[in-house]
């Protein structure tokens, strides 16, 4: 008769992928700052309840806090059992963590195991996960062969990156993970940037899934994407990597940017507010000219002026100083915004990189 393997009570970060679901038992505020990518937030104490228990601990007694906390935790675990976990099969294998692998995740794991699920608790909790992220972001980047997609603003670098991913290439989309297009106008209209720690966790999750024997494509970046810092070891390896340069005519670049930044055309006041951030660089007179073009709907003229006076000089300085292999890059010519065109560029890029 086949022996059944017993599920361990406590596991490490290296074993995350062995579980069907990862449950974050911390409060919604803790979860929002950072969490294991893909984790399900099921607080055993929400933000208000944590504050209430903490106040009791300080002002009344540890016993009073534990008694109240235990009642709250029990009710919340019962609520999750009756809602999110009501349809889970007997074989469902969850992993639970809290801040440091203590009483919150311990209580949750105990109840799940009593039900009959082979649940486990993450040793060291979120703090152990965070230590693993920091260590891996320092060590992993050196193990990959990076190919950096370079090119002036509006040449379609992000589109090429997406086309490469659709073709099965390994891609690290830093701007997608950062929810930002990487310039003063880069804020996305429907998504705020994540906290720094959560951005790093998302990058870590992508790196964990990459095959070290295959190249990784990434768009050229500086040290920051919006308000977020690119992990130091990643940016260092990118700056030393082989480059692919995308070129396009000014007219093509203008058309691509107008297509990508349609939200500014729909709401010119948002664009004007962002343009004023450039006053220190270009002076009030030039910013006033650009504002007039925006309010007058003269989008082609405005985009061309921004490219020639702001983006192109800044990009040239930054790229030449950061990417020493830029001059040796193979060149791809973008001629239009059509997806089929960028698919063809992706095929050309992959063919050139093939051994």
pTM: 0.92
To 5 degrees, how large is the angle CA 141–CA 145–CA 147? 105
**Who wins on pLDDT, 352 or 103?**
103
Residues with a catalytic annotation lie at 98
Mean pLDDT for 82-89 is 97
How high is the pLDDT of residue 186? Answer: 65
Mean pLDDT for 202-223 is 96
User: Is 99 within 8 Å of 127 (Cβ atoms)?
Assistant: yes
How high is the pLDDT of residue 315? Answer: 85
Q: What is the pLDDT of residues 214-241, one digit of tens each?
A: 999 999 998 999 999 999 999 999 999 9
Of the pLDDT bands very low, low, confident and very high (cuts 50, 70, 90), residue 265 is: confident
How high is the pLDDT of residue 5? Answer: 44
Q: Where are the domains of the chain?
A: 10-133, 144-353
CATH no., domain 144-353: 3.40.50
How high is the pLDDT of residue 262? Answer: 82
Query: Residue 21's beta-bridge partner residues?
Result: 94
Q: Count Cβ atoms below 10 Å from residue 173 Cβ, excluding itself.
A: 18
Give the CATH architecture of domain 10-133: 3-Layer(aba) Sandwich (3.40)
Of the pLDDT bands very low, low, confident and very high (cuts 50, 70, 90), residue 7 is: low
pLDDT at 141 over 90: yes
pLDDT at 4 over 70: no
CA–CA gap between residue 103 and residue 116 (Å, rounded)? 20
Of the pLDDT bands very low, low, confident and very high (cuts 50, 70, 90), residue 55 is: very high
Helix (H, G, I), strand (E, B) or coil at 48: helix
Average pLDDT, the chain: 93
Mean pLDDT for 62-76 is 97
Residues contacting 189, CB < 8 A, separation 6+: 263, 270
Q: What is the pLDDT of residues 90-121, one digit of tens each?
A: 999 999 999 999 999 999 999 999 999 999 99
């Amino acid at each position: 008769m086949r022996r059944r393997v017993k599920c361990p009570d406590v596991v490490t970060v290296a074993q995350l992928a062995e579980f069907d679901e990862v449950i974050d038992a911390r409060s919604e505020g803790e979860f929002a700052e950072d969490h294991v990518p893909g984790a399900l937030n099921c607080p055993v104490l929400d933000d208000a309840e944590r504050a209430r228990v903490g106040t009791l601990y300080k002002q009344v007694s540890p016993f009073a806090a534990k008694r109240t906390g235990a009642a709250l935790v029990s009710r919340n675990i019962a609520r999750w059992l009756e809602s999110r976990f009501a349809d889970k099969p007997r074989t469902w294998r969850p992993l639970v963590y809290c801040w440091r692998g203590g009483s919150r995740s311990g209580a949750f794991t105990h109840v799940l195991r009593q039900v009959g699920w082979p649940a486990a608790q993450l040793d060291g909790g979120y703090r152990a996960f965070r230590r693993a992220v920091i260590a891996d972001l320092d060590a992993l980047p050196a193990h990959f062969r990076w190919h950096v997609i370079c090119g002036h603003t509006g040449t379609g670098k992000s589109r090429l990156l997406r086309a490469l991913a659709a073709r099965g290439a390994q891609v690290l989309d830093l701007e997608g993970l950062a929810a930002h297009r990487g310039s003063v106008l880069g804020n996305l209209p429907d998504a705020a940037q994540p906290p720094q720690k959560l951005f790093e966790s998302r990058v870590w999750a992508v790196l964990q899934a990459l095959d070290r024997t295959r190249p990784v494509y990434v768009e050229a970046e500086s040290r920051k994407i919006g308000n977020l810092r690119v992990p130091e070891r990643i940016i260092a390896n990118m700056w030393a990597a082989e480059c692919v340069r995308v070129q396009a005519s000014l007219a093509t670049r203008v058309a691509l940017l107008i297509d990508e930044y349609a939200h500014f055309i729909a709401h010119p006041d948002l664009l004007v507010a962002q343009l004023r951030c450039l006053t220190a660089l270009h002076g009030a007179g030039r910013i006033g000219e650009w504002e007039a073009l925006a309010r007058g709907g003269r989008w082609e003229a405005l985009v061309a002026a921004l490219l020639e006076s702001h983006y192109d000089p800044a990009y040239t300085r930054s790229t030449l100083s950061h990417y020493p292999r830029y001059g040796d890059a193979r060149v791809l010519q973008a001629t239009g915004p059509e997806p089929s065109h960028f698919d063809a560029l992706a095929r050309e890029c992959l063919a050139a990189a093939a051994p």
